Structure 1
Amino acid sequence: MTSLSTELIHSTEVAGYLARIADIPFDADGALHFGCLLNLAQEPDGALWWWQFAAGAGSATAAYCLHLFHLVRGELRDSDHWAGQALNLDTDIHLTAPTPWGQRRPESPSGALREAVERLKVEELDGAQFHHPDHRLADEIEELADAC
């Protein structure tokens, strides 16, 4: 899940997606990429919310992220559900190759990424924190992605 999130955050369109989700909070591509950023910043509940939104809006990649999210947690029924959803939405999902054993990414996010996420506006929804993306984050994403 970290490899896929990292790949999506390093895409050339990520700044545009994050800027769009800051203006239009119902943009599926922005929600997918913002969820990946939150995942990398170790905000799993926030990532989960945004991925669910994007998957509900038809993003097969977000559904695949949810499959991986639940698989890592050992929630096999939910994992199977999201794998099925991903395949129903698109059978040509771009998957990231697993990171070789000797080249694992660090488990902790960069300080800059954590700080950027910590300064975002946060609301409480059903007991979970809901982060709001902003334009500053979109403007800084290239430097933040380089730190991941």
Structure 2
Amino acid sequence: MRSHQPRTIEEALARARIFAGVYTPVDLESSRQRITEQLLELRWMKAFALPTASTRGRPAQAPLMLHERAANDLRALCQGVIHDGDAARRLARFDAARDPGGALAFACLLMLADREEGAQFWLQFAAGGGQATGALCLYLLHLRRGEWRDAQHWARQMAHLENEPCQYSPVAHEIVETTSAAGGVTVFIDLPDDQTVVSEAAVKDAVEDLDVDLIDELGAIPQPSPDLAHQLEDLVTAGR
């Protein structure tokens, strides 16, 4: 049955009027919460044209959109992870030990090879195993996608995991709380000025023949091959 359309402005306003006693305190509190979340997202939007300042001691670059800056930072962070001297060793023992640090190195290889779904799975594995750098990668990944609430979640996880013992930190970084950046934090990544960049085309070749397992409810998840650690060492050596 078609609803009756209002014929006058007065009738339309009468329908829109909020009558006393119709809404409970719970309804009002829920509305306030939604408005607060919307205002927080608008505050994050102000960061869309901030200069890139995620690496200390480097010249300020031209302003970037927030998602562009996050994409650049994520790529640089992944390069930093796979250049770490312990990354290949952790990846080599991953099959037997399921080391979260090895999962982090593997995820960064997948990210550089544009295998994003698989990378996200192993980053979540790494973060779940206590790796703050895994949470940092997820924070940047969701910022790049514009997924603000997910980015905020991983920002909180990142700050929490920083204080966990036995932390594997292949790339030094500092988390600074702020009132303007997405997630309420700004992250300064400490990458060496002379860090070489591994060819992403070479990374894609290295991971091209990986086994892919179907995991219930998660889909196809790539698995590291036994010799991938040796390939990683070769990639880093060739890039120097």
| Same structural fold, with TM-score higher than 0.5 when normalized by the shorter chain | yes
Which of 120, 130, 135 aligns to 2:221? It is 130
Deviation at 1:138, TM superposition (A): 0.5
Which of 92, 105, 116 aligns to 2:206? It is 116
Which of 75, 96, 101 aligns to 1:23? It is 96
Matched residues in 1 for 2:109 and 2:90: separation?
12
CA RMSD across the alignment: 2.6
Matched, 1:50 2:141: no
Deviation at 1:129, TM superposition (A): 2.7
Counterpart of 1:27, as a letter, is D
In the other structure, the counterpart of 1:78 is 150
Q: Report % sequence identity.
A: 40
Deviation at 1:88, TM superposition (A): 0.8
Question: Which one has more relative contact order, counting CA pairs under 8 Å at least 6 apart?
Answer: 1
The structure with the greater share of residues assigned to helix is 1
Deviation at 1:140, TM superposition (A): 1.3
SS in 2 for 1:130: strand
Calculate the TM-score normalised by the size of structure 2.
Answer: 0.53
1:52·1:62 contact (CA, 8 Å) conserved in 2? yes
Matched residues in 1 for 2:234 and 2:144: separation?
28
Bigger mean CA deviation after superposition, 74-83 or 129-138: 129-138
Deviation at 1:72, TM superposition (A): 0.3
Matched, 1:90 2:180: no
Matched residues in 2 for 1:35 and 1:46: separation?
7
In the other structure, the counterpart of 2:230 is 139
Change in CA separation of 1:97 and 1:13 when aligned onto 2, cut-off 3 Å: closer
Bigger mean CA deviation after superposition, 59-68 or 124-133: 124-133
Matched residues in 1 for 2:218 and 2:91: separation?
25
Matched residues in 1 for 2:78 and 2:126: separation?
14
Structure 1: which 5+ runs fail to align?
none
Which of 63, 82, 86 aligns to 1:13? It is 86
Calculate the TM-score normalised by the size of structure 1.
Answer: 0.83
Bigger mean CA deviation after superposition, 59-68 or 84-93: 84-93
Q: Which ranges of 4 or more aligned residues in structure 1 deviate by more than 6 Å?
A: none
Counterpart of 1:137, as a letter, is L
Matched residues in 2 for 1:2 and 1:48: separation?
14
Deviation at 1:109, TM superposition (A): 2.1
Matched residues in 2 for 1:55 and 1:46: separation?
14
Deviation at 1:12, TM superposition (A): 0.8
Counterpart of 1:129, as a letter, is A
